[in-house]
Chains A and B, each alone.
Chain A
Amino acid sequence: MSQVDERTAPPAAPPTRRRANWAVALPRNAWRQLTSMRTALVLLFLLAVAAIPGSVLPQRSVNVDQVNAYYDRHPKLAPVLERLGGFEVFASPWFSAIYLLLFTSLVGCILPRLRDHLRALRSAPPDAPRRLDRLPQHAVLPGHDGDLSAIAAELRRQRWRVVAREGTVSAEKGHFKETGNLLFHLSLIGVLVGVGLGSWYGWHGNRLLVAGSDHAFCNTLQQYDEYGLGPRLHPTDLPPFCLELTDFEAKFLDSGQPDSYRATVNVDEAGGAPRRESFSVNSPLRLDGANVYLLGHGYAPVIRYTDRYGRSQTSVVPFPESDATMTSQGVAMFPDANVDPKTGERDPSLQMGFQGLYLPTTPTDTFEARSLHPAERNPGLLLVAYRGDLGLGTGIPSSVYVLNQRQIDDGKLEEVGRSKVLRKGDTWTLGDDTKVEFLGTRPFAVLSVRHDPGEMIVLVSAGVLLTGLMMSLAGRRRRVWFRVTPAGDSTTASSRLVEAGGLPRTDYPGFADEFAALVAAVTGGEPAAERSANGRGQRDRPEPREGTD
């Protein structure tokens, strides 16, 4: 890449054709404009600039909650940004337009270069210029016997592409620079194809999985808390398997910093016996057609409520953590509580809900509703009981981690008591003689299940990209020529002039060195008697200025 030849427009139309039809000229000029390096550079910059809002604004594909929070904070601005694609920058029409134009420009530039390069690979190194002494590198080989075939053999040994003509040897080396350059650009197209395939045929789902066989889940879209399905995929295309979390091990240091997480699951894949697998943060569970990643964990308190008719119900609800020491918050809801067993009649004003705060390590000396350590060293549960209509039947989707605030504000759901710190096995009797028991906790794991069929293409393309990049940055194309000129009217018939010339085709400061070594090699190790480095073309810059003071 260090020397990309200026993308030149094709030669102008022959002068006989006076003026091209505008219908032809317009698209042709537009195409030339698009495939010019200047346009490519501008597009590259646009791409970089266009990516910035994607990091400044919350992105729906990265974190939905942050987008919703942004809506709450800026209720007027958010819808405007939404319309501009601000929350989905990388899927927005303008971002896509930039990279598609860039890739069109890239293809338009690469294809002619690919053709030229293939032609150059097939063609022989060109004939020697008439005056080798005007090349950037030039040497006269005085002691040489003029045996060009020996020179050609030496060049071939050094892996030059050699062609011997009448009285001259032409050699060329370093085509792999352009090969690497083309590979690099072509692999970018490969990356784009892989990304496209992944978004069309890939899918993912997130699921919070509580331990226990009663909470096992199977791979269908309905079972996910949140999912995304590629547009070319049908829900029935998901591979069938079921997972049950049997154990979750979280290790913490005394400082509270997490040390390791490990989830153990029972896997039941179609066409195989159920088996036990365990996986952790950096080593996902790889199944046939899907990978399961461990993203998080937490505690799910087990709460039993015994209603005024003496009937008990148990709820195992995950409490998401709210800080690094796993202080966790959630709700346990009993919509079927206090249904009269005789009449079967539901009294919506007698539903029960508990807002809970779970502290894995409860402070003993001071009361502060904050856990001291993420491990369950001294677990305690604080509950606030609510009685009334939970508002679950309204059809409005609501969070399962908080009680419906509108019902509380409307007075339909009333606070009826606050518990002390409940230990494992403690029972709290409410005012109406109903009972709440804290039976313990179960671990839960936050899982992400994903499949991306384009991954392999992207990986291979990235490998090719890196190889091509290194080739194009390290490679140097250069040519050398050797010529034997019979001394025409010289006094001694045997005297002849053997000279060499070298031309670096790319920016290559070490060429003089290599040329000298090459000349030394063909003369049998003796340094050349006369050499000149003309300095022209050797470096693509004017001679450095003298310092002025």
Chain B
Amino acid sequence: MAELSNLLLVVAILAYLLAMVCHAAEYAFGSRSVVARAATRPARELVAVGAGAPMKADLPPAPPGPPAPPARSGAIAGRAAVIVTALAGLAHLGSVVTRGVAAQRFTWGNMYEFALTITLVATAAWLVLVTRRPELRHLGLFVALAMVLMLGTAGMVFYTEVGPLMPALKSSWFIVHVAGAAFSSGIFLLGFVPAMMYLIRSGYDRGKRSFPYTLGRRVPAAAALERLTFRLHAFAFPIWTFAVAAGAIWAEAAWGRYWGWDPKETWAFISWVVYAGYLHARATPSVKRSTATWIAILGFLTMLMNLIGVNLFFSGLHSYAGV
């Protein structure tokens, strides 16, 4: 079972890579008209989808003029990319499940398993998002890239043999706390992608044409990205709050205090404060949206620091099973 899990992980990484290639192909071969349409259409459709299906009737009629010739190769590559991502997600899921079966427990007992789980959450959330809003498909390149990087790092650096849990982890709060943390981290990870894209796109809209901004031409409209960023963060933040609170309840039972400024706790606090700052900045009209989005980016960097940096650089009570 454990070998099967490892094999499936390799399959998943390769499939994410393939999805990346497909997305890249869509970027490269999608005809200009498709690109232009992709850049304008999502804004309108987003209004419609955001407002619910019945609004579609109220949409202004399609702009007159000859319908753009469907750029077949590009669109096919894009659609294929989503399908390949879904297959990669299945292999990814298989890897997590078989590992869980091999270890006979939930798969978040160490950093390797935790990384596997949060990336799975992010993939699942992405697939849900892209089926509901196909116009966001262009973001898939970056989602797939993030998956390949995270899974590759997990597999090569953090790999841990299958084993049962440490006594300290044998608690029902373990499931609640870690599930909450994994789920919200996955959503924050997903929210990070449109946040980056928004900054690139809005920079592009302001006339910047140097390297990262050149990508802005082919991503959805800035406002739509910004909105998506906010909604994902607003969704993840209460879950993160809950995960931290559940961790505190567990810490009371395991270590005798609900909060002790262990490095992991300190960084969870820092992330919480930064994301709270993002939500406040987003809600304050006098703060520019790009400033607010930078705060969200900073928040994700603190999450990464907590997930990886704290385990590697500091020793604390959250050190289990190697890393």
How many chain-A residues does the 8 Å CB contact rule pick out?
72
Does the CB pair B261–A61 fall under 8 Å? yes
Does the CB pair A48–B274 fall under 8 Å? yes
Could you list 29 examples of A-B contacts with CB < 8 Å?
A1-B279, A41-B287, A44-B274, A51-B266, A55-B266, A55-B267, A55-B310, A61-B261, A255-B163, A257-B163, A258-B167, A259-B167, A260-B167, A282-B171, A295-B256, A455-B258, A462-B248, A509-B50, A513-B52, A516-B55, A531-B58, A539-B47, A542-B223, A544-B42, A544-B43, A544-B44, A544-B222, A549-B32, A549-B217
Does the CB pair B167–A541 fall under 8 Å? no
Q: Closest residue of chain B to A544, judged by CB?
A: B43
Q: Closest residue of chain B to A468, judged by CB?
A: B238
Q: Closest residue of chain B to A516, judged by CB?
A: B54
Instruction: Type the 1/0 row for B245-271, where 1 means its CB is closer than 8 Å to any CB of A.
Output: 100111011111111111100110110
Segment at the interface with A among B4-12, B33-41, B72-80, B82-90: B33-41
Instruction: Type the 1/0 row for B220-231, where 1 means its CB is closer than 8 Å to any CB of A.
Output: 011110110010
Q: In chain A, residues 429-487, which have Cβ atoms closer than 8 Å to a Cβ of chain B? A: 448, 450, 452, 455, 458-459, 462-463, 465-466, 469-470, 473
From known contacts A473-B234, A513-B55, A541-B223, infer whether A90 and B256 are also in contact, taking CB-CB under 8 Å: no
Q: Is A151 an interface residue when CB atoms closer than 8 A count as contact? A: no
Does the CB pair A6–B217 fall under 8 Å? no
In the bound complex, what is the Cα–Cα distance between A55 and B302 (angstroms)? 12
List of B residues within 8 angstroms of A463 by Cβ: 245
Q: How many A-B residue pairs have CB under 8 A?
A: 192
How many chain-B residues does the 8 Å CB contact rule pick out?
77
Does the CB pair B253–A547 fall under 8 Å? no
In the bound complex, what is the Cα–Cα distance between A470 and B256 (angstroms)? 29
Q: Closest residue of chain A to B217, judged by CB?
A: A549
Known pairs A62-B262, A531-B58, A549-B217; list 6 more (Cβ under 8 Å).
A40-B280, A257-B166, A448-B255, A544-B43, A545-B221, A548-B217
From known contacts A513-B54, A544-B221, A549-B32, infer whether A48 and B40 are also in contact, taking CB-CB under 8 Å: no
In the bound complex, what is the Cα–Cα distance between A516 and B57 (angstroms)? 12
Q: Is A312 an interface residue when CB atoms closer than 8 A count as contact? A: no
Q: Is A510 an interface residue when CB atoms closer than 8 A count as contact? A: yes
Q: Closest residue of chain B to A541, judged by CB?
A: B223
List of B residues within 8 angstroms of A458 by Cβ: 248, 258
Does the CB pair B205–A545 fall under 8 Å? yes
A→B interface (CB under 8 Å): 1-4, 6, 37-38, 40-41, 44-45, 47-48, 51-52, 54-56, 59, 61-62, 89-90, 195, 204, 253, 255, 257-261, 280-284, 291, 293, 295, 448, 450, 452, 455, 458-459, 462-463, 465-466, 469-470, 473, 509-513, 516, 531, 533, 539-549
Does the CB pair B221–A259 fall under 8 Å? no
Does the CB pair B253–A257 fall under 8 Å? no
Q: Closest residue of chain A to B274, judged by CB?
A: A48
Q: Closest residue of chain B to A88, judged by CB?
A: B261
In the bound complex, what is the Cα–Cα distance between A282 and B36 (angstroms)? 58
**Closest-CB distance, A205 to chain B (whole angstroms):** 11
List of A residues within 8 angstroms of B176 by Cβ: none
- Taking a contact as CB atoms closer than 8 A, the residue among A2, A48, A61, A448 that contacts B256 in the complex is A448
- Taking a contact as CB atoms closer than 8 A, the residue among B249, B254, B279, B286 that contacts A459 in the complex is B249
**Closest-CB distance, B167 to chain A (whole angstroms):** 5
Does the CB pair B280–A4 fall under 8 Å? yes
Does the CB pair A55–B314 fall under 8 Å? yes
Does the CB pair A62–B260 fall under 8 Å? yes
List of A residues within 8 angstroms of B47 by Cβ: 509, 539
Q: Is B71 an interface residue when CB atoms closer than 8 A count as contact? A: no
Q: Closest residue of chain A to B281, judged by CB?
A: A41
Does the CB pair B58–A38 fall under 8 Å? no
In the bound complex, what is the Cα–Cα distance between A544 and B198 (angstroms)? 13
Pick from A253, A516, A547 the residue with the most CB of B within 10 Å: A547
From known contacts A2-B234, A4-B284, A282-B254, infer whether A544 and B224 are also in contact, taking CB-CB under 8 Å: yes
Q: In chain B, residues 154-192, which have Cβ atoms closer than 8 Å to a Cβ of chain A? A: 163-164, 166-168, 170-171, 173
In the bound complex, what is the Cα–Cα distance between A291 and B43 (angstroms)? 58
List of A residues within 8 angstroms of B287 by Cβ: 37-38, 41
Q: Closest residue of chain B to A6, judged by CB?
A: B285
